[in-house]
Amino acid sequence: MNENFSTFHHLECASCGQRFAKTEPLNLCPLCHQPLFARYDLERAAQLIDRSSFAKRESGLWRFHEILPIERPENVISLGEGGTPLVKANRLAAELGFNNLYLKDESLNPTGSFKARGLSAAVSKAFELGIRKVALPTAGNAGGAAAAYAAKAGMKAFVAMPADTPAPFLIECEQCGAEVERIDGLISDCAKRVAEKMRQESGWFDLSTLKEPYRVEGKKTMAYELTEQFGWSLPDAIIYPTGGGTGLIGMWKAFHEMEQLGWIGKERPRMISVQAEGCAPIVEAFIQGHEKATPAKNAQTIALGLRVPGAVGDFLILRAIRESGGEAVAVSDDALMQGVRTLGSTEGIFAAPEGGATVAALQTLKETGILHENERIVLFITGGGAKYAELF
Ligand SMILES: *Cc1c(COP(=O)(O)O)cnc(C)c1O
């Protein structure tokens, strides 16, 4: 046992601030039912590692193990997630009238999306805590990632997904050994089915995003990687396609940790959230100045990962956008599908529609003067397009 593998210290409610021991499997805060965050002994972490430690290590998410919640290396369930390229997108930039555009290409993750990061961390931690059965609702990619990591861990997975999800998402889950149910409705209806399953049968643990503390930890590594790839400096803006907001919340948390570690200063990128016009609760709340979002009615979009009518962490997403001086924009399905084509034909990356949404948003943000041509901007290409092929 290497007690320096992780500096994970305790859990803390993101809303009421109450602390909880890290040894119990917990979902939401037992007191106020809001998301829990993992907190680290960052003073000790700063003694164990510095910014230059990582370059000497194997690429990937687990090079950041001191600031991840898994305490024994043998509990890490990995399929090679993270370590994705930061691509300078010169042809796309020229097309859209920018000079410093970058793509964080998350389509190269196991199972084809950045959901691999969150689920590698969450399944590893569940395994470490003795859990052997995990359940979750999915809009698409989370199910496949959960099924894959559960298989690798020798655990059971139960996945509930909307019945209209394209076949490859379903087949991926099944071929990775998960029990899958197709539900008439949206991810919110799938969440109800997961809750019911857990009442009917004992031993299942709910891996819904932000209803457990560790998917955020996996996704926060995108910010550590990005900052390292920029030579420990930060871009001016990050454009992030937002469903549950796990990655945006995770990255915002990571910037705070990096400041406490002494690796960056007070500067932050502007966090820009993109949603689809057919389901834009965060954009509406941002415009109206609300602290929390009102769930979207009749949510509909081709960008499945954005078809999330109500996010558990809505107040955390909105807080990060506002504290960063960011923005929230909605784009039409036509515009985001055009974004996929523009990205593919200029940069050779066949993105998921959610990735196309960042390209569409960038056009809007240029026209409205919110982003300028010389700013250093990162688009998060959160997944690959192949599983969505029948929607094109
Ligand atoms: C899930 C998903 C999103 C949304 O991610 P959140 O962090 O939950 O907001 C975006 N793009 C793709 C491809 C996804 O699978």
- Strands (E) across 115-216 are located at 133-137, 156-162, 179-183, 205-206
Stretch 90-97: mean pLDDT, rounded?
Answer: 98
User: What pTM was computed for the model?
Assistant: 0.98
- How remote is the CA of residue 215 from the centroid of ligand 1, in Å? 12
Q: What are phi and psi of 377, to 5 degrees?
A: -125, 135
- The residue contributing the CA closest to ligand 1 atom 10 is 305
pLDDT in tens, 236-267: 999 999 999 999 999 999 999 999 999 999 99
- How remote is the CA of residue 107 from the centroid of ligand 1, in Å? 11
pLDDT in tens, 98-107: 999 999 999 9
Residue burial 185-201, b: 16+ Cβ < 10 Å; e: rest? ebbbebbebbbebbeee
pLDDT in tens, 301-348: 999 999 999 999 999 999 999 999 999 999 999 999 999 999 999 999
pLDDT exceeds cutoff 70 at 182: yes
Which CATH code of 3.40.50.970, 3.40.630.30, 3.40.50.1100, 3.30.2350.10 fits the domain covering 86-113+214-391? 3.40.50.1100
Tell me which CATH code domain 115-206 carries: 3.40.50.1100
Q: How confident is the model at residue 163 (pLDDT cuts 50, 70, 90)?
A: very high
Pocket lined around ligand 1, Cβ cut-off 6 Å: 113, 115, 140-141, 209, 241-247, 305, 352, 354, 382-383
3-class state of residue 122 by DSSP: helix
Residue 377: count other Cβ atoms within 10 Å of its Cβ. 29
Q: Do domains 86-113+214-391 and 115-206 have the same CATH topology?
A: yes
Stretch 360-366: mean pLDDT, rounded?
Answer: 97
Residue of 252, 241, 258 lying closest to 316 (CA atoms): 252
CA dist 38 and 124 (Å) reads 14
pLDDT in tens, 192-236: 999 999 999 999 999 999 999 999 999 999 999 999 999 999 999
Start-to-end CA distance of the chain, whole Å, equals 50
Domain borders along the chain are 8-70, 86-113+214-391, 115-206
**What confidence score (pLDDT) does residue 1 get?**
54
Query: Helix crossing, 115-128 with 246-260: angle to 10°?
Result: 70
Q: What residues form DSSP beta bridges with 238?
A: 271, 378
Which residues 6+ apart lie within 8 Å of 116 measured at CB? 79, 81, 82, 109, 110, 145, 148, 149
Residue 390: Cβ-neighbour burial (10 angstroms; 0-12, 13-18, 19+): exposed
Contact 317, 327 (CB under 8 A): no
pLDDT in tens, 343-356: 999 999 999 999 99
Residue labelled with tokens 């107040």: 315
- How remote is the CA of residue 146 from the centroid of ligand 1, in Å? 14
**Size (the chain), residues:** 392
The pLDDT > 70 percentage for the chain reads 100
